[in-house]
Structures are given as structure tokens and as C-alpha cells.
Structure 1
Amino acid sequence: MKVERVSTQCESVDKLLNGGIEKGIITNFYGESGTGKTNVCIQIAATVAENGGKVVYIDTEGGFSPERFEQVAGEEALENILLRDPVDFTEQEEAIESIAEVVESEDVELVVVDSAVSLYRLQVNGENASEINQRLSRQLSELSKIARNNNIPVVITNQVYTSFDEEELELVGRDVPKYWSKALLKLTQKTNGTRKIKVSKHRSIPEGRSTQFEITNDGLSTPDNKGLF
């Protein structure tokens, strides 16, 4: 069976991902602040919305800018964005629980959650970590089900922190988002202003494969040095 994908409209990123973001799974973009996670989300949402597709966009950090979206896609495409902006983890839970029906009734072609863990991070502490992790897992399970049942891509972003044991970046939520995300893509910022995107986990692409992209006024673009490495 052929895997269907949604283009990012960025040549280097599409080449890395064999054509774009896979339908039917959760794709997780993770990285430190300023690495381009929200811009990637807006770019993918703009691609779908420009082609007439509806997008459910759950914005937990207030990062979605209509002005930025219109720079990438135009004013008319903004009408295809169904925005949800939960302010705490319970509201995020309710937003995700409610979108299954919306996806079917509105013929939604993409779901974005930016970020999946920022409100989780505010909620979790040593005493309730197990309970909050279970709630996060249920949310991601529901998103995975929506992706599979409707054959659409679900894109989430993930914050990171430094793991002192391993001295490297670790996903907030650790094993929970790792399990439910069938594609894990790490974003880092290069010294020349470009961003690097590296495959950390994927069903069909070798781990460690990477490329670069730039963030411009019109969205994501391919830098002059666009080779995979």
C-alpha cells in the first residue's frame, strides 16, 4: 500500500521526508526554543489550507500568528484554520477529545498541536507525574486514532530539556511522546541562521539523516547548500 504524504512546500525538507509529512501517523517536531517548530507547523498548515483543506490547529503557547500565516498562505486560506487555544492542561485534554467529531464533520485534512507538552509541563510535578503522564498518553492515543481513522497527518511539537545523566537533549514527557510519535524530527539552529532537521525516528527513513532549511518572510525555503547529510 502506497504511503500518502503532505508536502511542506520546502524542497529540502520534502526530499528528506520522501515527499512530505506522512498521513495516518503523528509526526513530532522537537527542539529548543527558536529552532523553528511553530514556523514548521504554520508552513504545513498553510499548504493544506491553501489547497482548500480544513486544519484543526491547537495552539497551547499563543504562538500562532494570523499575520504570519497570511505571509505564507494569504488571507483566504486563514478561513480554513479551526483554531483552539487552551490555557491549561485540562482544556487541552478537552480540545483533543472534542476534535474527533470535528475532523469528520468538517472534513479536516490536518491536525496540529503546538506544543503538545507546554501545558503538561506546567501541570506535572513529582507527586502527580504518573497521573499526568497517563493523561498525556491518552491525549496522544486519541490523536493517533484520529490520524489512522481519517488517514490524515497529525503534527505535534515537543519541548526539550537537558538530561544531566546523558548530557543531551531529552523530550519533555520522555517515553510518552516517543512511543506515540511514529516520526521524530529534531530541529536545531545553525550558526549561520539556517535550521537543521534530523530524523531521530521514522518508519521508512534511516535515523540520522538530515538536511537544512531557512525561515523567510514567505515561509520555509531551501538554502543554497541543500544536500542531505
Structure 2
Amino acid sequence: MPLLRCLEYDYPLIDSDFRNFCASHAIISVEDFLLHDLYVLVISTEQHHNSERLKEGITQVLTIINKQHQPWVDGQDLLDDALQNKRFLPTGCKSIDTFLLGGLREGYLTELVGTSSSGKTQICLQAASAVAKSWGKIVFLDSGNSFSPKRVSQIITQTSDLSAYEVDKGLQQVMNNIVCLSVFDIFTLFEVLHQLKNNLRSQIDQHIRMVIIDSISSLITPILGGGGAHGHALMVSVGFLLKRLAHEHDISILVTNHMVVGEGGTSKPALGESWRSIPHVRLLLSRGHIRNISSMSVLRHPHMATGDRVEFELQ
């Protein structure tokens, strides 16, 4: 994203006074602006004689960000990406992998949508276990204390027919390949993702194959209150940052989203219409009342029909 000084020609409110005010808060670029707590920034304007103009400048930057929803790759990039023989990573459930034409595709942002009891976290843990066992490293960003080493251990033990020694050795490898970080707000998420981006570009974390965020909605929902432009801009920015990470580094990114009550009392995915178009793949999970049978339905997929459905049994 551009430096603030590059915007003054088209947006006079972003003048030297406004930029100096932002610089005093370590804000030089539009990206720095997104990473800052806007509530604190607005409050700090009260200490200046031109408080109202500074607030207008903040609103102006938010408006600019809100309009920058252009594709982050051009047509040739999309064609090249489609022609690449990218790998699929396992979910840990053969029925789901078969249904998804191979599993979770590298280079894609996949979203699991469902109620709190639908099995979203379980699939995240199974996918993390399966990928860490045979494919490479996992970054698990945990926003609700959902990561359970004990459950991962159970998954590895239940899916293996090896000796106890070999199971212990495999479990140690899996645990070493999973990096779990607690992330409780959108600003920390940005910091973690930017650090990951820098590490990948410098090949520090070149063996990372998957990033899991459980859940993305619990991080974004708090900033959407009031319908202001700031929260919306942050949501869109984190979405496109995730897609860029997936595309540039052939990583499979898996996020979870909860359900909310919409018009007429029907349930719908949280985060609204702007978020709906961001993930490459959206999958709806639901759990039946009989036994442990769950179902997965396609809400959005580049190569599958909306409404396609499969039933499976969670471990």
C-alpha cells in the first residue's frame, strides 16, 4: 500500500500537518494506518488545535482504503495459476478429500462455516495433524483456545497401525511441525501475518505448507460494530493479505467462521457480503442428530457446484 505522502496530490486533506500527526504515531503508509488502533488515534487528535481536520483526514484515508478492492493479480497471473499443477493437502478425512477433488488446494483460502458444534475445529485439528505428519509445517493461529495437543495426540494414535514406538516418534514429528500462536485481536493477527510474509520471502519458514486460523470471525466481528469504514477496511485487507500469502508461497490457508441469525430467523455466515467474495472456497458444515454423522456442503468453489454435499463421520 502507498505512503501517505503519495496521496496528497489527489487528497488535499492528507497534507503535511496530517502526515506529521500520523508520523508521531509511527504511521507512514496506508498499511501502518490499518495496523493502528483507530480509536486511540481519533482520541489523540483532541490534543491538537486542528482536531476536526485531522479527523477528516482519518476518514479520508479510510475511504481510500475502502475503495481499493481491485484484484491483486491480473488475468495472466490467474491463468498461470490455474495451469499450475498445485498439490492438495489432506484434511485427515478421506471422504472429505475425495469430495473436494483431492483435499485443500495449495494457493487457496478455504473457509469452513458452521455452528459451534458443527466440527470446524475438529477438521482443523485433523488437517493440521495430517499435514504435519507427512507434508511440512503448520502455523495454527488460535483465537479461542481451541488448539488441543491432547486431541492431536489422539488423532495420530487412532489413525496409525504402527508400533507404540513408531507412533511416539511420529507424534513427536507432528508436534514439532505445528507452531501454535494465540491471537486474540485483529491487530495481532496483522503483525503475525506480516512477520510470516517476511519470513517466507527470506526463506526462513520455507517449509510451511498450511496456515490455520480458528476462528477468523472472532477476530473480525469486534471491529465491525457500528458499520464504520475502519472495520470494513481492516476485514478486506486481512482477507487479501491471506490470499496473497496463499498465492505467492503455495500455502493452503484454512479459516473458520461462525453462523449468525439473518432476516427471517435463518442462519447465515458471519462477516457479511464483503467477506463472502474473498475466500476461494466456502464450505458449510453441519452435524446430524443421529450418531456422529456430519455433512459438508459447497457454498463456493471454483471447480464444484454450489450445493454439492457429502456426509462423513468425524473421529
Q: Distance in 1 between matches of 2:262 and 2:227?
A: 20
Rounded Cα–Cα distance in structure 1 between residues aligned with 2:269 and 2:195: 26
Q: Structure 2 unaligned runs (5+)?
A: 1-82, 157-170
Structure having the higher Rg: 2
Q: Which amino acid aligns with 1:77?
A: V
Quote how far apart the aligned CAs of 1:98 are.
Answer: 1.8
Q: Which residue of 275, 280, 283 corresponds with 1:177?
A: 275
Which ranges of 4 or more aligned residues in structure 1 deviate by more than 3 Å? Answer: none
Q: 1:9 aligns with which of 71, 89, 92?
A: 92
Structure with the greater relative contact order (CA < 8 A, sep ≥ 6): 1 or 2? 1
User: Under a length normalisation based on structure 1, what TM-score does the superposition of the two structures give?
Assistant: 0.88
Structure that is richer in strand per residue: 1
How far apart, CA to CA, are the structure 2 residues paired with 1:190 and 1:79? 35
Match in the other structure for 1:80: 177
**How far apart, CA to CA, are the structure 2 residues paired with 1:6 and 1:127?**
37
Alpha-carbon distance, 1:172 to partner: 1.5
CA apart distance, 1:52: 4.9
Q: Give CA deviations for 1:115-149 in whole Å, capped at 9, x if unaligned.
A: 01102223331153x21121111111111001000
- Compute the RMSD of aligned alpha carbons: 1.6
Tell me the distance in 2 between the aligned counterparts of 1:189 and 1:48.
24
Write the distance in 2 (CA, Å) between the matches of 1:9 and 1:66: 16
Greater Cα offset, 119-128 or 137-146: 119-128
Instruction: Give the match for residue 226 of structure 1.
Output: none
Q: How does 1:177-196 map to 2 (within 5 A)?
A: 177-192=275-290, 193-196=292-295
102, 110, 114: which is aligned to 2:214? 114
Q: Which residue of 2 aligns with 1:206?
A: 305
Letter in 2 for 1:191: H
Identity %: 23
Give the paired residue count: 214
Distance 1:202 1:127 in 2: 28
Partner of 1:23: 106
> In the alignment, residue 118 of structure 1 is paired with which amino acid?
S
Asked if the contact 1:97–1:139 (Cα under 8 Å) also holds between the matched residues in 2, the reply is no
The 5-angstrom pairing of residues 140-151 of structure 1 reads 140-151=239-250
Higher share of residues assigned helix: 2
Q: Does 2:223 match 1:123? A: yes
- Gaps of at least 5 residues in structure 1 are 217-229
